[in-house]
Amino acid sequence: MRKFILGSMLSCAFFGANHLNALEVTVDPFGYLGVLYNQGIESSPHSYIGLSARAGANFMLDNNWSLGLGAIGAWSVFSHKDDNAPYKSSGDISDAYVKYNTQRLKFALGRYNTDFLEFDWIAGNIQGVSVKVFDYHKWNYWGMYMDSMLYNGYQYSGDQGNRIATDMNALAAYNPTAKKSYVGGEVIAGGVDYTYKGFRVSPFVLIDTQLPTLTKGVLVQVGAKAGYATNFANTFKSTTLLRGMFQYGDTDGLAGDDLAGLIWIDQAFKHKIFNFGAGFYAILGADGKGSLWTFSDRTRFYGRGINSPGVPATYFANSTITGYLFGGLETNRVKVDAMVAFGIYQEYSLMADYKVWQYRNMKFNAGGGYVYSYSSKAMNSIGSSSLLFFGKFSY
């Protein structure tokens, strides 16, 4: 980080004549350079090497405002297919934002990371505006408008951590072509979070004005999450989550029943460096087609990020009933995720990340793993079986 002093004239130009004193600015650079090798293990397997990079800086002012600017790019280094599918070269301005951050109010406008909302179904960088208000009586209120999103496979996954290497396996920019494929229209969402001791309840509403399907039409989702976290025996932490959602939208592009629903139960335990647990979910749809349309999610699966990057997720296809077991560990240097899912959606995944080197805020991580994922309701965009290796320098 570096600190600079802006003169009073610059202060006046940006923040009004009443801010006559000099402002201190902290510059926080961020970015990474990563390479990923994805090798299919099946008949007619896929095989590609992708290089991705991101660079930017956050300029934090001492009056709670901050400005940010960053760029991202992905390049197909090798592919056994002539059109470089499925790893496409792309690039865009990833970050261009204004933020305001206090204990009572968080606000962001432009192209920015929206994880601070803690919304289960939209994460990572979007183009739009978000606001979150904190109340002293354990209530939080949030709302957002999303015009487009930066899709790179990023999965923000709560207590077990983000999915390893998924943010290097794809890139779809904010441009109109990608917007039509992933977002469609304009998205408005809002909700409330209520926390009392170990309990938390979070209802929400999401509206997309036009689905990116053949028949298009509006998407409406109404849902909630209820959770309870507690410690017992001094060393164990238990987290129980129950999610539910009602959806109206023609997600299959065909005439028929446009209603769908979600029931999802997840139980996790954490003991020192280890985590483990189980879950069950069902996607209800009368016609057996279509899907729960989610831009991102907090599942523990790797099938979306590795074998089928994009929107919607293959494991959220209608009429899917699946149970799963998971486990892993995390230390200062090593992170391991393991998963077995059985039912309509199936997954067997083992992914590992090792911190090879670190100096201050710079580090180099390497790792790999294997992901098998299959659904009889939806095809993977890459393949059902992937052996993965990666390296990533970040700062």
Taking all residues of the chain, what is their mean pLDDT, rounded to a whole number?
Answer: 92
Contact call for residues 30 and 56 (beta carbons, < 8 A): yes
Q: Quick one: what percent of the chain has pLDDT higher than 90? A: 83
Confidence of residue 21 (pLDDT cuts 50, 70, 90): low
Mean predicted confidence (pLDDT) in 257-282: 96
Q: Give residue 289's pLDDT.
A: 85
pLDDT for position 179: 94
Over residues 30-78, the pLDDT tens digits come to: 999 999 999 999 988 999 999 999 999 999 999 999 999 999 999 999 9
250-264 pLDDT per residue, tens: 998 877 789 999 999
**The predicted structure's pLDDT at residue 23:** 80
Instruction: Please check whether residue 183 is in contact with residue 224, taking contact to mean a CB–CB distance below 8 angstroms.
Output: no
CATH of the domain at 80: 2.40.160.10
Q: Measuring CA to CA, how many Å separate 389 from each of 47, 49, 85, 353? A: 12, 10, 18, 10
Q: Is the pLDDT of residue 19 over 80?
A: no
For residue 374, give its domain range.
Answer: 2-394
Q: Answer whether 314's CB lies under 8 Å from 326's CB.
A: no
pLDDT at 6: 40
Confidence class for position 370, pLDDT limits 50, 70, 90: very high
Once rounded to an integer, what is the mean pLDDT over residues 213-239? 93
pLDDT confidence of residue 226: 98
The per-residue pLDDT for 208 is 98
Q: What is the mean pLDDT of residues 340-360?
A: 98
Which token pair is 150? 């930066």
Number of domains in the chain: 1
For residue 322, give the nearest of 339, 297, 305 by alpha carbon: 339
* Digit-coded pLDDT (tens) for 156-185: 877 788 999 999 999 999 999 999 999 999
pTM of this prediction? 0.90
Across the range 91-108, mean pLDDT stands at 97
Structure tokens of 385? 């079986």
What is the share, in percent, of the chain residues with pLDDT greater than 70?
95
182-206 in b/e burial notation, b at 16+ Cβ within 10 A? bbbbebebbbebeeeeeebebebeb
